[in-house]
Amino acid sequence: AQSVSQHNHHVILSEAASLELGCNYSYGGTVNLFWYVQYPGQHLQLLLKYFSGDPLVKGIKGFEAEFIKSKFSFNLRKPSVQWSDTAEYFCAVSGSSNTGKLIFGQGTTLQVKP
C-alpha cells in the first residue's frame, strides 16, 4: 500500500537547536517527494521538492532534505531553528507518472521555544 510515515508527531526545540524530521514512504516505482509547511493561520506552502538528480535538496528558509532511495526516506533538516519555524510540517510523495495524487504523512508539529 502507498503510504508516508512521519516519525515524530510533536517536536519541541529551543532556538538554535538543530532539526531533523523523519519521513519514510512506501510507494512502488519512481517517486517525487515533497515537504510542505503550514505556519499558524496560513495555508500549506511548499518547502522543497525532489524530482530527480542530486538527492540533497535545498529549500526555502534554510531547510534541506536528503533522499535516500535504499531507505525509502526523505528526512528534513535545518542546522539552526528559529522561533518563526514553529509550524506543522508534512512530507508527501507522488509517483513520477502523473495521477494527480499526493500521499501525505500525518504531519509533525514543531514548536520552537525562544
Partner 1 sequence: EAGVTQSPTHLIKTRGQQATLRCSPISGHTSVYWYQQALGLGLQFLLWYDEGEERNRGNFPPRFSGRQFPNYSSELNVNALELEDSALYLCASSSYRNSPLHFGNGTRLTVT
Q: Concatenated DSSP letters for 21-69? A: E-EEEE-SS-EEEEEEEE-TTS--EEEEEE-SS-SEEE-GGG-EEEEEG
Chain residues 84-103 in contact with partner 1, contact rule CB under 8 A? 90, 92, 94, 96, 98-103
How far apart (Å, rounded) are the C-alpha atoms in residues 72 and 38? 24
24 part of the interface to partner 1, by CB under 8 A? no
Of 70 and 98, nearer to partner 1 (C-beta) is: 98
104 part of the interface to partner 1, by CB under 8 A? yes
Positions touching partner 1 (CB under 8 A) are: 32, 34, 36, 42-46, 49, 51, 90, 92, 94, 96, 98-107
